[in-house]
Structure 1
């Protein structure tokens, strides 16, 4: 069974709650007008045989729209809905990733204790490269990293645009934002402070593998070693040579199959293309098996 660690959903009840607050909310995010995000049966039917997905919610984040108390309530309800989806569909959705309200850190920490730490369905949390206009490595968000290290559960790191910039684009901006977020986490010393911290970075680690020598000579060997502590997925829409570079930098035990489905390649996402790219990589069959299955099993022990 191939495990896709980075696939997305938009729980229907949660969407209705957000639309009740703002009926036109999806007009701000046209790419979320995708039936595979909300129609569970259609989503199931889109999956390739022998595949399962770890589900995370698209970046319709309550803290961007409502006050701290409302944000916490919406995240908690969305997580309950996602957990119920997992429990009813374990054959293809073995686990989900929780949302947390970034404008209410005390509630976020409580939510992690209540909904993630001992859950049979939610196995980690999703963070974004920025929250409320601040980098994710801002001091205000440090307790989240401490909590996740303490419970031994992974963080999924997903990009968002920097709203201070006027030239954002999907081709390059999200990769730049991921790179900056990784740099911020390393230079905040989080891996030194919490050696067991687990972070899964979308899009194969973005720019980091390509610029590894710049990291070594500008930031030093110790920082370079910390960059290698991240886990990354394969969601770069193919490109076996780029994936080989990610394996070369992070190690075959830190690269996991992930697709960003249902986005990337219409109508059902890039799963087949990315799986073909993994198959074409110049690595051993054992390493390919690590990427497709084993690494997730080891990370989720």
Structure 2
């Protein structure tokens, strides 16, 4: 069994609750219009054999539309719905990753302590929140709490809305890279030795610029970059995946597809599997990527 560590869904109840006050939310965000995000029939009709997905909410963040208490309520609603999706579809869904309201940090910690630790495999954070870097000092309590409880953070990109030329091909990869840099510069891996962060899209451009990291940053910071975990969601490219394994290490690369995005109707799972199968690495490394590495991170 292959375990897809980074697949997405859009809980229908959460969507309807947001639409009640933001009726044009779908029209404003093209990525929300993919039918397989909400339609399990489509997802099942095209579901790859031998795969179980760990699902997280698509990047529709309650704190972007609602103040603290409302955002927290919607996160809890979405988390309950994600959990039910796993329970009702245990043949295709392995587990879920929880949402927390970054504009209500006390409630975010409460959700982690009471809801996440019992039923979820980790917490999803985004590269920016409330117009700030996710490594901003204001958000540090979430890093501290997840480290204390041995809960992985799943790091997903969002656009930096200050920029006029965001695009789906390159912008998110830059934002992931920049967020990794900011987390390292904040010293979180030193302050929180148990911290585990899973970065979408194979760690973006970090492996390619390993030399620049080595010679422009301190030895400690360069070492910290290699403490991230990364997934394989780059739509193929076995050589790039080999580079990720070489840089982050075989135990820090996880099978992830970003499904149902990229290839219609339900994602690029087959393309990602083909790329992993084509990698010039030992068979036991591929087994670790497909399931063993994520299983070691799951509670």
- TM-score, scaled to structure 1: 0.98
Larger mean CA deviation between 217-226 and 123-132 belongs to: 217-226
Shift in Å, 1:224? 1.1
Superposition pairs of residues 49-88 of structure 1, within 5 angstroms? 49-88=49-88
Residues 256-280 of structure 1, C-alpha deviations (whole Å, 9 max, x = no match)? 0001011012222110011000010
Residue of structure 2 in register with 1:215 after alignment = 213
Shift in Å, 1:141? 0.2
Aligned partners of 2:159 and 2:171 also within 8 Å: yes
Superposition pairs of residues 142-161 of structure 1, within 5 angstroms? 142-161=140-159
CA–CA distance in 2 between the matches of 1:221 and 1:171? 31
**Partner of 1:102: helix, strand, or coil?**
coil
CA–CA distance in 2 between the matches of 1:94 and 1:267? 21
Superposition pairs of residues 1-301 of structure 1, within 5 angstroms? 1-119=1-119, 122-301=120-299
Residues 149-181 of structure 1, C-alpha deviations (whole Å, 9 max, x = no match)? 011011000000000001111111100000000
Structure 1 runs of 4+ aligned residues shifted over 3 Å read none
Shift in Å, 1:209? 0.3
CA–CA distance in 1 between the matches of 2:282 and 2:222? 25
Shift in Å, 1:290? 0.6
Shift in Å, 1:20? 0.5
CA–CA distance in 2 between the matches of 1:208 and 1:129? 15
Residues 82-118 of structure 1, C-alpha deviations (whole Å, 9 max, x = no match)? 1111112222111000011111111111111111112
CA–CA distance in 2 between the matches of 1:217 and 1:269? 38
Aligned partners of 2:56 and 2:98 also within 8 Å: yes
Shift in Å, 1:144? 0.3
CA–CA distance in 1 between the matches of 2:137 and 2:194? 19
CA–CA distance in 2 between the matches of 1:39 and 1:267? 11
What is the number of residues matched between the two proteins? 299
- TM-score, scaled to structure 2: 0.98
> Aligned-residue CA RMSD in angstroms?
0.9
CA–CA distance in 1 between the matches of 2:34 and 2:216? 43
Aligned partners of 2:46 and 2:265 also within 8 Å: no
CA–CA distance in 2 between the matches of 1:147 and 1:177? 24
CA–CA distance in 1 between the matches of 2:140 and 2:44? 36
Shift in Å, 1:44? 2.6
CA–CA distance in 2 between the matches of 1:43 and 1:198? 30
Structure scoring higher RCO (CA < 8 A, sep ≥ 6) equals 2
Shift in Å, 1:233? 0.2
Aligned partners of 2:42 and 2:266 also within 8 Å: no
